[in-house]
Structure 1
């Protein structure tokens, strides 16, 4: 348990870069293919959830980019957390491919995928949470929880509106 409260080895993390690229590329493409009605729906977002989402995004981005413990690969039971996080991110990519091939509606945006509710929000949050467990980084775990409350909360609100 003490390992979770040790400060990370600060440096650029290749694993963190890979995860952020997997996260950002679909979002950049999405910015050009937003669903009809998204702009109007986003005007009514809960300000507390939005603040939590933005705070979580910044914290997660900084922490996955700078924690070199994410790059240690060894044959241990904890490697399963890293592999599961990677599988979740691959599912996230597949979710976006499904969305980009769809008619780009709000229902498409907030759909489930492979049994994951609100896949566009939940898959990356769970992946980051698992990265935090893998790296024994309590700060990354906390950042993932903050991001999850905001990001998943906002997606839930949008989904209820449609």
Structure 2
């Protein structure tokens, strides 16, 4: 692992740990909060999050790197199934959990801020990609120390949204998405 990858991932883990400890010290019973069902409805935060996720991907659809289609044919069917299931579940829970719009949980607000930071880095990663020569190595590059930034940043962000909303289903969807999405990107990077 590169030093920059280690620093970025360690920083993310430390920030997550700090917010977790802060939340634990200010909440009487954290596990009880995770047992509550989501407040169903359209989430404004979730909708904005999905727009930040989808707009670069829609643009990417018109600017795919040379050789991507051939590489996509060799993708693992199991990883692809995990990726698709994770995408559908994550999108459904992100857009429909109104707890994402609740900013009154001050200690846990750190998770939302961390998610926003990761998504801003994700947007900057796409700007870098679109300004590059758009090769497969550009697509599967690291950015700001995050390995496979195009895959890892949104997965980390979805996971943190799940923690912020105290939504076990969304956290599970993030793990499923991560197995498939990061796994496929890792396969492609190894082929380069």
Judge same fold: TM > 0.5, yes or no. Answer: yes
**Residues 1:39 and 2:69 are matched in the alignment:** yes
Alignment partner for residue 29 of structure 1, among 50, 59, 66?
59
What is the RMSD computed on CA atoms of the aligned residues? 0.6
- Stretches of structure 2 that go unaligned for 5 or more consecutive residues are 1-30
SS in 2 for 1:116: coil
TM-score computed with the length of structure 2 as normaliser: 0.84
SS in 2 for 1:100: helix
Query: What is the alpha-carbon distance in structure 2 between the residues aligned to residue 72 and residue 32 of structure 1?
Result: 36
Structure index of larger Rg: 2
Partner of 2:4: none
Query: What is the alpha-carbon distance in structure 2 between the residues aligned to residue 44 and residue 4 of structure 1?
Result: 39
Alignment partner for residue 170 of structure 2, among 140, 151, 156?
140
Alignment partner for residue 69 of structure 1, among 83, 92, 99?
99
**Number of equivalent positions:** 162
1:122-137 alignment, distance < 5 Å: 122-137=152-167
In the TM superposition, residue 75 of structure 1 has moved relative to its aligned partner by 5.6
TM-score computed with the length of structure 1 as normaliser: 0.99
Partner of 2:147: 117
Query: What is the alpha-carbon distance in structure 2 between the residues aligned to residue 42 and residue 52 of structure 1?
Result: 15
Alignment partner for residue 108 of structure 1, among 130, 133, 138?
138
In the TM superposition, residue 74 of structure 1 has moved relative to its aligned partner by 2.0
Q: Which moved more, 1:73-82 or 1:90-99?
A: 73-82
Residues 108-136 of structure 1: per-residue CA shift (max 9 Å, x gap) = 00000001000000000000100000000
Alignment partner for residue 80 of structure 1, among 110, 113, 118?
110
